[in-house]
Each structure stands twice: as C-alpha cells, then as structure tokens.
C-alpha cells in the first residue's frame, strides 16, 4: 500500500439468511401461484357451465310452453309474464306471429335462437302461429355466478389454511437435520475435536458431515503431533541442562556464573514448554476442589526463595478457601502470573485474596498496554510469551474468569475462581 494512501474499506459481509424460511417462502409462493391459476381456470369453467345451465333453463321453459300450447283447447293468448314475481329478471312472452310485437325491455328480434342484448339474454322460438321469447337478465346471471364463486372460495379457504400449515410443517421437518447439524457444530467449544457423526442425516448432508469429521481428525492429529514434539523436546532438554548447570557451578571460570543465569532462564522456558504440553493434553484439569489459600502459600514461598521483586500477600485472614479447580493447574497458573509480575514489574507484587474466590495480582510496571494472543510479548520483554499463553489456556480450561488492565504505571490481573457447589450455596 502506498504511503499515505487510505486503506481500502473491507467488503461488507452478506446478511445471514435462513434455509427454512427461504424454502418455505418459495414453496408457498409456488403453491399460491398454482392456486390462483386453479381459481382462474375454475372461474372460467364455472362461467361456462353456469351459462349452459341458464341457457338450458330457457330452453326447458320454451319447450314446456310449446307443449302447453299444443295441448291447449283454446287459442293462445298473447301475454308477457315475469316468471319470478316482482323481479322481472326472468321474462316469458307469448306473441301472435302475424301481429306487431308488444313493447319489451329489448328491441324486436329477427330469427329464432339465442340473442345477447344489452342487459338480457333472450331465446326466441316460433311455433303454432305464435312467437315465444324467454329471457334472463344479465345481472341475474352475474349475481348467481358471483355467489357460486364466493361459495367455492369460502369452502377452499380452510383447505388453503391446512395446506399452508402442512407445508410449513413439512419444510420444518425436512430441514430439521440441517438445523441439528448446525447446532452440533456451532454449540461445541473450540477445543472439542470429537466427530460430529453422520448418523440420522440425509444423503445430501452425509458428505458434509463426513468431510467435517475428516478435517477434525486431521486437526487433532496435528495438535497431537505438536504436543508430543513440545513435550519430548522439553523432556529431552531437562537432563542436559541440569548437567550443564552442575558443571558450570563447579567450574572455576569466572564467566561460568553468568552462564548459570542463562541456563536457569533456559530451564524455566523448558519447564513452561512442559506445562504447555501438559495443559493442551488436558492433564491436571480436574474440577477439584482444592485449597486456594494453601496453594497460594506454597507458590509464594517458592518464588520468594528465588529472588526477584518482593511479594506482599493479603490473605483476608482466610484459613482455607476451597475452589472448584485442580491444585496442580492452579499452582501452574499462579506461578506463571506471579513470576511474570516479578520479572516485568518495577515494584513489589501485591496479592489480595477474597472469600468469594477472587485473587488480585498487581504491581507497578512501565507498560501502557498488555500483549494479546499466543506467544505474545510485552514491550521490552526478554521472554517468549509462554507464561501468558499458558495462563490464558488454563483459565479457559478451568472456567476461571481473568480480567487484565494496565494504566497509571500499574498492572493488575483479577482471577475469579469458581467455588464448589456447597461453598457457593
């Protein structure tokens, strides 16, 4: 990147979406389109069938009138009848064939058959010297068709509701394996490398689960190789370093005393490598309980004997404080943190223990911020960052809450140890 140029903005992450919701929406949309097409087709068919029914009614009325006139002894009487009383929606007219037609709601008709006129559908038939006209009002037919369509839709609504409920349930059941697999992956801790397993998964998801288990196996093998290498290397170095230190102490060379200090520093790093390998292998990470007060006394006594910054302990007049942690893991954690404070601080190390399981470690230090991450080192530190890495791994494994803060020339670390269930109660 060119000096002075502004950094390019990071691309915005795509919003998360739900497979179940997307599948449900698309299936429901497809079903809705199908239902609309079915309703439109049904409306066309219903219109056609009801038109035929109404036309059949007109034909039956005309044929019945013709039969009646054929059997009547008296001559036909010209008349206009409303088949339904006072509504004039169905009309029957009997007219002499040789006389001008009487006024009607529709104009005079020429020829027999069906006629579509404004507001009416009329059937004309000539028979036995008379003309018979039977008609339906268009509004009547429209109302009847709308009523039939409304009844059809009303009956279909429960079926549509049942279909929507069934589709949502089917989609939820079909995507349940995906949700279970996602929950099994997202719900595990970062150190859990156990296989997910492909049992109960559909064929589409089995390759994904098997590939994920294969990757987990490779990661576990790599981590095991790393732990074995660290442990073996550290273990093999302990004996030669001890022998070298012994020879240097017995050497009359005046430079040997300075070399002893360097060997001691190397021995401490080897010891921390062993601690790191032990912690990553999960050894010594039981849930106790152990007496934090006694472990703290032993660690402080050992570190005081080794020199370094003085240690001032405020035990809160506690004779015993049980915590839900392994004694060896607690000792490793406290030794690393207090030893770091001695090595990198500029004044006495203050330890304060409280009855609720909190231990504070504080001392003056010429730092403005604290290192973060594995093997991170503070400014001016000659170490390799192993103590901090081991401490962070231990607090995660033991369920200990650790808070670190630096400011005004002072560094403080607060450890909140979990108490046993009976002590917490």
Distance CA 83, CA 70 (A): 20
Q: Is the pLDDT of residue 301 over 60?
A: yes
Distance CA 320, CA 357 (A): 11
Q: Is the pLDDT of residue 273 over 70?
A: no
Nearest 5°: the CA angle 8, 13, 14 is: 135
Two structure tokens written together for 154? 């009303």
Q: Is the pLDDT of residue 91 over 60?
A: yes
pTM of this structure? 0.41
Q: Percentage of residues in the chain with pLDDT exceeding 90?
A: 4
Q: Is the pLDDT of residue 255 over 80?
A: no
Q: What are phi and psi of 404, to 5 degrees?
A: -120, 140
pLDDT value at residue 29: 85
Two structure tokens written together for 255? 């430079």
pLDDT 10s digits, 172-221: 888 888 888 888 888 777 667 788 888 877 887 888 888 888 888 888 88
pLDDT value at residue 270: 67
Kindly tell me the burial class for residue 219, based on how many C-beta atoms sit within 10 Å of its own C-beta (0-12, 13-18, 19 or more).
exposed
CATH code of 290-424, in short, is 3.30.565.10
Structural domain boundaries in the chain: 19-187, 206-280, 290-424
Q: How confident is the model at residue 415 (pLDDT cuts 50, 70, 90)?
A: very high
pLDDT 10s digits, 350-367: 999 998 889 999 988 876
State the DSSP H helix or E strand holding residue 324, giving kind and residue range, or none if neither.
none
Distance CA 64, CA 83 (A): 13
Comparing C-alpha atoms, which of 118, 65, 56 is closest to residue 95? 65
Distance CA 4, CA 355 (A): 54
Q: Is the pLDDT of residue 75 over 60?
A: no
Report the 10 Å Cβ neighbour count for 30: 11
Which of 37-51, 223-237, 290-304 holds the top average pLDDT?
290-304
Q: Is the pLDDT of residue 99 over 60?
A: yes
The residue written with tokens 């809705």 in the block is 32
The residue count for the chain: 425
The residue written with tokens 């006129």 in the block is 117
φ/ψ bin of 380: left (φ > 0), alpha (ψ from -120 to 50), beta (otherwise): left
Q: Is the pLDDT of residue 77 over 60?
A: no
Q: What are phi and psi of 349, to 5 degrees?
A: -95, 120
Report the 10 Å Cβ neighbour count for 320: 8
Q: How confident is the model at residue 81 (pLDDT cuts 50, 70, 90)?
A: low
Which of 136-150, 280-294, 361-375 holds the top average pLDDT?
136-150
Two structure tokens written together for 143? 């109302």
pLDDT value at residue 15: 67
Written in H, E and C, the secondary structure of 152-190 is HHHHHHHHHHHHHHHHHHHHHHHHHHHHHHHHHHHCCCC
Higher pLDDT, 372 or 123: 123
Provide the 3-class DSSP secondary structure of residue 287: coil
pLDDT 10s digits, 180-193: 888 888 877 766 77
pLDDT value at residue 59: 87
Alpha helices in 251-373 (DSSP H): 256-280, 292-305, 327-344
Is the Cβ–Cβ distance between 69 and 53 less than 8 Å?
no
Two structure tokens written together for 389? 């890495």
Q: Which fold has domain 206-280?
A: Helix Hairpins (1.10.287)
> Per the omega criterion (within 30 degrees of 0), is the bond before 257 cis?
no
Two structure tokens written together for 52? 């035929």
CA distances for 403 relative to 258, 290, 305, 416, angstroms: 37, 22, 28, 9
Provide the 3-class DSSP secondary structure of residue 42: helix
Distance CA 65, CA 63 (A): 5
Report the 10 Å Cβ neighbour count for 29: 10
Maximum separation of any 2 CA atoms in the chain, in Å: 159
Distance CA 297, CA 303 (A): 10
pLDDT value at residue 359: 92
pLDDT value at residue 351: 92
């Amino acid at each position: 990147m060119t000096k002075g140029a502004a950094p390019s903005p990071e691309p915005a992450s795509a919003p998360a979406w739900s497979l179940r919701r997307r599948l449900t929406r698309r299936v429901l949309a497809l079903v809705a389109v199908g239902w609309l097409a079915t309703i439109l087709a049904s409306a066309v068919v219903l219109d056609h069938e009801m038109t035929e029914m109404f036309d059949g009614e007109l034909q039956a009325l005309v044929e019945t009138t013709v039969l009646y006139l054929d059997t009547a002894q008296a001559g036909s009487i010209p008349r206009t009848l409303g088949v339904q009383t006072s509504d004039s929606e169905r009309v029957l007219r009997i007219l002499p064939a040789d006389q001008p037609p009487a006024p009607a709601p529709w104009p005079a008709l020429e020829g027999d058959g069906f006629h579509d006129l404004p507001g009416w559908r009329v059937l004309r038939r000539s028979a036995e010297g008379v003309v018979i006209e039977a008609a339906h009002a268009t509004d009547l037919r429209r109302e009847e068709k709308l009523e039939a369509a409304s009844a059809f839709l009303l009956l279909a609504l429960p079926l549509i509701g049942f279909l929507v409920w069934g589709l949502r349930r089917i989609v939820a059941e079909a995507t349940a394996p995906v949700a279970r697999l996602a929950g099994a992956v997202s719900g595990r801790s970062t150190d859990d490398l156990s296989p997910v397993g492909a049992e109960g998964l559909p064929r589409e998801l089995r390759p994904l689960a098997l590939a994920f288990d294969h990757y987990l196996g490779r990661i576990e093998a790599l981590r095991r190789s790393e732990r074995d290498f660290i442990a073996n290397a550290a273990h093999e170095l302990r004996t030669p370093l001890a022998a070298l230190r012994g020879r240097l102490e017995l050497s009359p060379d005046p430079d040997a005393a300075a070399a002893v200090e360097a060997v001691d520093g190397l021995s401490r790093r080897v010891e921390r490598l062993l601690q790191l390998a032990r912690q990553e292998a999960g050894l010594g990470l039981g849930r106790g309980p152990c007496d934090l007060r006694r472990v703290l006394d032993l660690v402080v006594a050992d570190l005081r004997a080794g020199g370094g910054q003085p240690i001032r302990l405020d035990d809160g007049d506690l004779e015993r404080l049980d915590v839900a942690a392994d004694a060896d893991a607690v000792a490793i954690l406290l030794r690393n943190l207090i030893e770091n404070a001695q090595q990198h601080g500029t004044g006495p190390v203050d330890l304060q223990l409280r009855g609720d399981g909190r231990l504070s470690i504080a001392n003056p230090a010429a730092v403005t911020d604290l290192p973060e991450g594995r093997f991170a080192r503070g400014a001016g530190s000659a170490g390799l960052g192993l103590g901090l890495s081991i401490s962070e791994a231990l607090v995660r494994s033991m369920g200990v809450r650790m808070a670190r803060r630096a400011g005004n020339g002072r560094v403080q670390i607060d450890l909140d140890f979990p108490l046993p269930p009976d002590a917490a109660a």
